[in-house]
């Protein structure tokens, strides 16, 4: 692995092609997501007319919070525009590729840093850990979707009513195993190969 030190930009660059998770909750309450007015009558997990950029704070503790683009511009207007445009471009290319392989990338997040070479995509990217991956053949708007991502862990934590304060509870072996199986299935579908584990 080759690594490079980067000064991380303190914003998560989230792109959503479908409305789910925190965006769905926000939309139900206000008809908006991160200050973006969305059409009335959207269904849970519904495809958006076009992907939207919904930045979030990069919290050092607790949970990240969705913020309007105007708030993001505190890091610089031109930098914010560049990150938005890069994020939308990367998402669109990845979503098109994944759909050909039978996976919907409902949303994803990117983290960027500054290096001597300029803006650099940092951290892991387009994995089941930073994206919602849905099997396209089972997609049905109007409800939560089956997924190949960490939603299974989120659902378990909701079920045990974890208060989202550290320390996080350990995962039972069956939850960890089933989550791992979902990640491996996403890998198989996207690459056409098996991953040695």
CA 17 to chain centre: 10
Instruction: Write out the CATH class of domain 7-143.
Output: alpha beta
Task: Please report, for the chain, the start and end positions of each structural domain, with discontinuous segments joined by +.
Answer: 7-143
Residues 6+ apart with CB under 8 A from 45: 18, 19, 20, 24, 106, 134, 139, 140, 141, 142, 143, 144, 145
Question: Is the predicted pLDDT of residue 163 greater than 70, yes or no?
Answer: yes
Instruction: Answer with the residue of higher pLDDT: 45 or 196.
Output: 45
Closest CA to 14 of 40, 52, 46: 52
Q: Which two tokens stand for residue 179?
A: 């989550």
Question: Do β-strands 103-115 and 32-33 pair in parallel, antiparallel, or remain unpaired?
Answer: unpaired
pLDDT digits (tens, 9 = 90+) for 89-146: 999 999 999 999 999 999 999 999 999 999 999 988 999 889 999 999 999 999 999 9
The reported pLDDT for the residue numbered 61 is 57
Instruction: Answer with the residue of higher pLDDT: 150 or 14.
Output: 14
Question: Is the predicted pLDDT of residue 188 greater than 60, yes or no?
Answer: yes
Q: Is residue 33 a contact partner of residue 23, using CB atoms and an 8 Å limit?
A: yes
The reported pLDDT for the residue numbered 138 is 96
CA 121 to chain centre: 15
Start-to-end CA span in the chain (Å): 18
For the question of whether the overall pTM of this predicted structure is more than 0.85, the answer is yes
pLDDT digits (tens, 9 = 90+) for 47-99: 999 999 999 997 665 567 889 999 999 999 999 999 999 999 999 999 999 99
Helix (H, G, I), strand (E, B) or coil at 113: strand
């Amino acid at each position: 692995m080759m690594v490079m030190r980067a000064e991380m930009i303190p914003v998560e660059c989230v792109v959503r092609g479908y409305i789910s998770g925190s965006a769905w909750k926000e939309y139900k309450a206000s008809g908006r997501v991160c200050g973006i007015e969305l059409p009335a009558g959207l269904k849970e997990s519904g495809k958006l007319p076009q992907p939207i950029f919904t930045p979030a704070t990069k919290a050092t503790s607790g949970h990240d919070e969705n913020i309007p683009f105007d708030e993001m511009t505190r890091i610089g207007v031109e930098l914010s525009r560049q990150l938005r445009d890069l994020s939308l471009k990367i998402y669109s290319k990845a979503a098109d590729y994944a759909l050909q392989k039978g996976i919907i990338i409902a949303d994803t997040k990117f983290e960027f840093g500054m290096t001597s070479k300029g803006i650099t995509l940092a951290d892991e990217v387009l994995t089941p850990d930073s994206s919602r991956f849905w099997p396209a053949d089972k997609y049905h708007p109007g409800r939560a979707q089956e997924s190949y991502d960490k939603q299974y862990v989120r659902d378990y934590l909701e079920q045990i009513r974890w208060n989202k304060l550290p320390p996080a509870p350990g995962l039972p072996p069956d939850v960890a195993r089933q989550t791992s199986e979902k990640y491996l299935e996403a890998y198989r579908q996207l690459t056409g190969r098996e991953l040695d584990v």
